[in-house]
Amino acid sequence: MSPTQSKSRKVKTGERAHEADHPTSLLAVFGADKPLRLDSGVDLSPFQIAYQAYGKLNADRSNAILICHALTGDQHVANEHPVTGKSGWWDTMVGPGKPVDTDRYFVVCSNVVGGCMGSTGPSSTNPATGKLWGLDFPVITIPDMVRAQAMLLDRLGIEKLFAVVGGSMGGMQALQWAAAYPERVYSALPIACSTRHSAQNIAFHELGRQAVMADPDWRGGRYFEEGTHPQRGLGVARMAAHITYLSDAALHRKFGRRLQDRAVPTFSFDADFEVESYLRHQGSSFVERFDANSYLYLTRAMDYFDIAADHRGVLAEAYRGTRTRFCVVSFTSDWLFPTSESRAVVHALNASGARVSFAEIETDRGHDAFLLDVPEFIDIARAFLESAASSHGLAGA
Amino acid sequence: MSPTQSKSRKVKTGERAHEADHPTSLLAVFGADKPLRLDSGVDLSPFQIAYQAYGKLNADRSNAILICHALTGDQHVANEHPVTGKSGWWDTMVGPGKPVDTDRYFVVCSNVVGGCMGSTGPSSTNPATGKLWGLDFPVITIPDMVRAQAMLLDRLGIEKLFAVVGGSMGGMQALQWAAAYPERVYSALPIACSTRHSAQNIAFHELGRQAVMADPDWRGGRYFEEGTHPQRGLGVARMAAHITYLSDAALHRKFGRRLQDRAVPTFSFDADFEVESYLRHQGSSFVERFDANSYLYLTRAMDYFDIAADHRGVLAEAYRGTRTRFCVVSFTSDWLFPTSESRAVVHALNASGARVSFAEIETDRGHDAFLLDVPEFIDIARAFLESAASSHGLAGA
Residue B263: its chain A contacts at CB < 8 A? none
Helices (H) and strands (E) in chain A, counts: 12, 12
Question: Higher-confidence residue: B5 or B282?
Answer: B282
Q: Is A40 on the interface with B (CB under 8 A)?
A: yes
B154 has catalytic annotation: no
Strand ranges inside A183-310, DSSP E: 185-191
Amino acid B264: pLDDT: 86
Amino acid B15: pLDDT: 58
Helix (H, G, I), strand (E, B) or coil at B244: helix
pLDDT > 70: percent of chain B: 95
Provide the whole-model pTM.
0.93
Of A199, A255, A338, the CB nearest to B255: A199
Given B69, B334, B342, B368, which residue is catalytic? B334
Q: With an 8 Å Cβ cutoff, are A296 and B265 in contact?
A: no
At a CB cut-off of 8 Å and minimum separation 6, what does B263 contact? none
Please identify every stretch of chain A with a pLDDT value under 50, giving residue numbers as ranges.
1-14, 397
Q: pLDDT tens, B210-240?
A: 999 999 999 999 999 999 999 999 999 999 9
- Degrees (nearest 5) of the Cα angle B338, B339, B341? 75
Mean pLDDT of B351-372: 96
Could you tell me if B370 and B192 are in contact, meaning their C-beta atoms sit under 8 angstroms apart? yes
Domains and CATH numbers, chain B: 13-198+306-391 (3.40.50.1820), 201-300 (1.10.1740.110)
Mean pLDDT of B324-342: 97
Amino acid B1: pLDDT: 31
Q: Is it the case that residue B241 has pLDDT exceeding 50?
A: yes
Amino acid B17: pLDDT: 66
Q: pLDDT tens, B145-188?
A: 999 999 999 999 999 999 999 999 999 999 999 999 999 999 99
- Strand order of the sheet with strand B26-30? B26-30, B47-54, B106-110, B64-68, B161-167, B185-191, B325-331, B355-361
Smallest CA-to-CA distance from B21 within B113, B123, B112 is with B123
Amino acid A4: pLDDT: 34
Q: pLDDT tens, A221-253?
A: 999 999 999 999 999 999 999 999 999 999 999
Could you tell me if A357 and A326 are in contact, meaning their C-beta atoms sit under 8 angstroms apart? yes
Alpha carbon distance A2, A157 (integer Å): 10
Residue B197: its chain A contacts at CB < 8 A? 257
Phi, psi values for residue A268, rounded to 5°: -150, -175
Amino acid B12: pLDDT: 42
Cβ within 8 Å of B, A 193-212: 196-200, 202-204, 206-207, 209-211
Phi, psi values for residue A132, rounded to 5°: -65, 145
Q: What is the mean pLDDT of chain B?
A: 93
